[in-house]
Structure 1
Amino acid sequence: MLRLDQWGFEEPVKLRRLAPPSVLPQHFQGRLDFQSESAQNLLCHKSISITVEENAITSYNWTSEKAETCDNGEFCQESILIIKAGTKAALVVSKGCVSGGMAQTTFIQHTSGPGLVIVSFSNFCEDPFCNNKASLSSFWMPSENTATSVLSTLSCPTCVALETCVYAPSLPCPRGSTRCYQGTFQITGGGINSVLEVKGCTAMIACKLMSGISTVGVFKVKEECPRHSFTELRRMENGATWLLVSVWGLAFLLLLILLLLQPLVHCS
């Protein structure tokens, strides 16, 4: 390749080759690596927590000051499982990176009451720091109209706690409740591996507060109930049926005796 010098004569141009990345200065190579990773990998908010307390739903702050760099192809995620029993609620929370799945937002009301309430929310997204929900009110707030109408004829031990309920006061059930519930929830995934025990009033039949759903965002949830709780329920139902049959049987027997005694009264 030629160019003109200052007197108008042609002279050859020396071409300078750039060094391949493997022989570039270390500080420059590191800068290229950082820029390459930044272009491919996603930054997400990071947090893991389990909270069990009074009025946790209205006061909980879901923001996070920590960040996580995802591997190539991963999404940001935020997942939460809420179990409300009486005035207390358990909040199982995870924010961070997740592999697999697809970008989507899911809200499920597993059990809406009366009595025990279980809801879940998950958000898988693919923009930097898109897992940025700050409060629960942005997707759900519990209704309070069932708390004031109570059925005094049914009361149940009520609690939600990590591992085991140490104290479960017997509380009157909201109108519409039909039985007492007792069960445990094994929750794994998203940095969580814990067990919650739950007791309270419900209208749900059998061990189905999760409505048969075992995956909530990054969580796997296994619901288990002691066999005796359902045995006692069947005994109560069978006892009520037996009592009703006994009353009708006794009334029929008295009527039959009166009919048999009528001829004797006329003869006398």
Structure 2
Amino acid sequence: MIGENMLQQPEDLTTESTITCGVREVCQETVLFTESGPRGMIVSSKGCTAAGITSSGPTKIASPGVTIISYTKVCSSDLCNGISSTDSLLSPAPPAAPSPDGLQCPTCLQVFGSCSSAAYSLCPEGTSRCYQGILKLSGGGITTNLGIQGCAPKAVIGCHLLGKIQAFGPIGVTEICRG
């Protein structure tokens, strides 16, 4: 799902089908929310996965500026991965004051590749520079590249938004920095 200001209105995460997990598999549900400027994207996965993945979240990985929030639930009872909405995972953040130095960065969120053009936005307080990169997502029924440009939080070391994170539940992620 892609849209504008997605934190303000819950998105439906229900599914119309069920599957039976195999031996040594457990149920899982994973939600990954990414936002840069007003544009946001939600990637979600439900199904079976090998035992060994742990539940987490919702966890805010990066914010302010580019925001990344992840949630993973792993469970072993029938239909236990039944989250129906993003309402309980994502809550609107109060508007941030603008960066005192007037920093502006191009903001873009592009599925299937890198950003080729972007609108400039005034960065919020708590950001220190611009970010440009690609998140390569693979697993949990998802394979895509997500291009991101935006204001980078001060806590980001180098050009990596994700730090040492290599997966969101069954979804593997590789970050390619562009600046």
TM-score by length of 1: 0.61
CA contact (8 A) 1:52 1:160 kept: no
- 1:93 and 2:47 matched: no
What corresponds to 2:136 in structure 1? 186
- 1:157 and 2:106 matched: yes
Give, in whole Å, the separation in 1 of the partners of 2:60 and 2:160.
Answer: 13
- Higher-strand-fraction structure: 2
CA contact (8 A) 2:55 2:169 kept: no
In structure 2, what residue type is equivalent to 1:220?
G
What corresponds to 1:129 in structure 2? 79
Deviation at 1:153, TM superposition (A): 1.9
Deviation at 1:176, TM superposition (A): 2.3
Give, in whole Å, the separation in 2 of the partners of 1:139 and 1:60.
Answer: 10
CA contact (8 A) 1:207 1:223 kept: no
1:220 to 163, 172, 176: 172
Give, in whole Å, the separation in 2 of the partners of 1:199 and 1:141.
Answer: 22
Moved more, 114-123 or 64-73: 64-73
Matched-pair identity in %: 34
Give, in whole Å, the separation in 1 of the partners of 2:103 and 2:5.
Answer: 24
What corresponds to 1:170 in structure 2? 120
Structure possessing the higher radius of gyration over alpha carbons: 1
Deviation at 1:217, TM superposition (A): 0.5
In structure 2, what residue type is equivalent to 1:215?
A
Give, in whole Å, the separation in 1 of the partners of 2:127 and 2:146.
Answer: 22
Moved more, 117-126 or 67-76: 67-76
Deviation at 1:93, TM superposition (A): 0.9
Moved more, 184-193 or 128-137: 128-137
Give, in whole Å, the separation in 1 of the partners of 2:123 and 2:89.
Answer: 27
- 1:197 and 2:147 matched: yes
Deviation at 1:194, TM superposition (A): 0.4
TM-score by length of 2: 0.89
Give, in whole Å, the separation in 2 of the partners of 1:59 and 1:65.
Answer: 18
Q: CA RMSD in A?
A: 1.6
Q: What does the per-residue CA deviation read over 1:83-126, in whole Å, with 9 as the maximum and x for residues that have no partner?
A: 11111112111000112216x53112211x22111111000111
Higher relative contact order (CA 8 A, sep 6+): 2
In structure 1, what residue type is equivalent to 2:110?
A
In structure 2, what residue type is equivalent to 1:131?
N
Give, in whole Å, the separation in 2 of the partners of 1:89 and 1:83.
Answer: 6
Deviating 4+ runs (over 4 angstroms): none
1:211 to 163, 174, 177: 163
Give, in whole Å, the separation in 2 of the partners of 1:55 and 1:145.
Answer: 12
What corresponds to 1:84 in structure 2? 35
CA contact (8 A) 2:10 2:87 kept: no
Give, in whole Å, the separation in 2 of the partners of 1:118 and 1:136.
Answer: 14
